[in-house]
Structure 1
Amino acid sequence: MTDPTLDRTELTALLSQQWDAIAALVADLDENGWRTSSPLPGWTVFDVVAHVIGTESWLLGEKPPAHDPNRPKTDVRTLPHVRNETAVLNEIWVDRLRPLPGARLLELFGEVTDRRRKTLESMEDAAWETPTPSPIGQVGYGRFMRVRLFDCWMHELDIADALGTAVDEGGRRGAVAFAEFAGAIPRVLAKLGKAPDGSRVTFEVTGPLARTLHIQVDGRAAYVDALDRPVTVTIRLDSGLLVRLGGGRTTADAHRDEIAISGDEELGLRLVRNLAFTI
């Protein structure tokens, strides 16, 4: 059965809407607003938008701007938040764009996303299905674009949190982005949370992306429609908090009063304290 969240027409439209949402968030910022610290270590609101520009430019086959010889050259590999080669490339783009004023960065954002829209809209079905290197390995191009939607959606939340602005975290855009995020949760529970074999875990997710997620650990962790034995631990929390924990934007201990755990509390705490998995 075809995954409806990978439909080319819809996903292209959702990406376009996502870029518009980011642009709207920063459209009226002054320079101080652009340089507000974000939840991402070492990055401001400006840097978050520069990162999106860099990734979308890379997807168009472009390289980072040349280093300005009048600026000190940063060895991005030495930065504490740079832990892999993907992060190195991300940081180079951000570093090269950082001297620009915010207004010019917003112009560049509009230019590159317009070109990306045209590229996606003209893409044929065969190209959409072609295996492509991505942050999650070799996947079809369409799946990579769902990763892109999730990444850009998370960065919208980063910007909103930095600016103290509320945004709509639900709707179809949020649901498709969450589908990409949620696919990793079983593996994260087993690998990082060390959920023991035989565990039965239920997430009661509240808020704009409310849903119930059942996970069984039998050799490997996987979603099931219903648990085949009594639940080991039930974790109840808001969808926005769940994705921010998974994105490493905050910690469970900082929001302990917003997380309800029933059953094996020790296991539940270990799981929510070890949810961060995004690059």
Structure 2
Amino acid sequence: MTRFRKVFIPFIIAAATLLLARQAAAAPLAVEHGDGGLVSASCDNSHAQVRIDAKDAPGMAWCFELVRVSGWVSLEATGSYGVTNTLSQPVRVAVKHPTGQVYWQVVVPPGGVAPVLVSGQTSVVVELASGPLGGPTGPSTSTFAEGRQVSLRNTATQKVLMSTWSGVSVGQVNRDSSFTTRVQATWLVTRARDVSGCFMLTKPEDPQISLRVEGAEVVAKVGDSQGGNGTWCVVSGETPSSIRLINQAHPTMALGVDKNGSPGLVGVQDGGSEWFVDDALAWVMA
């Protein structure tokens, strides 16, 4: 017994100390946003849950339970390498590259397991969603203010302003769309670099990209805007809770949707010039 104590007890103490140190160093899970349908829970195999396996999690996992028919939660689960779904419906998992602003989506079927590794390295799970979620169809759900991530929905067409590789467009986008599509429909409101009190619309995944006017087109590009082409001044629209975004370089023109259904500059009083300001369809990590 004495020999056992001398040999094994120090080993047990060292192992316990290491485990406690790892747990103390584990990053706390940052839950950013959500609708209350998916909630954080203690990991328990006897309950239907979504489990994120991650080296940064205390106990090596973070778990969530669905308390409604559908739900979503935005988070920052670093060190993730797999997601297990024991719910009775699929789970959509948005994943971010650990060192860059590259996103993708994985759908995990009921009872399924999906790896979220990148070339053998762990990733960051940034959103979980399950069930039909839809999107806003009425008045604005947010406000246009500095530092906010927003989505802009045209009051005339109900389509959302997007920035894609092929250019600026509008489309039918809601929370059931893929995460990458929703990132394209998310904008960051920043203060203009002059003293006008107006704003710029940049991409949260790359704030160097801003919405501006070039010639007769509205584009989203990297670089400084010239002469107020990328500066937008906000006025209230005629539709309750809507806004108009007047281009500083073209004060009689506003961001809008033309008669052909394309985004561009339209007359300030044009019916396609009003936008509802909604909560971001995808919360993008800085």
TM-score, reference length from structure 1: 0.28
TM-score, reference length from structure 2: 0.28
**Structure ranking higher on relative contact order (CA contacts 8 Å, 6+ apart):** 1
Relative to its length, the structure with more helix (as a share) is: 1
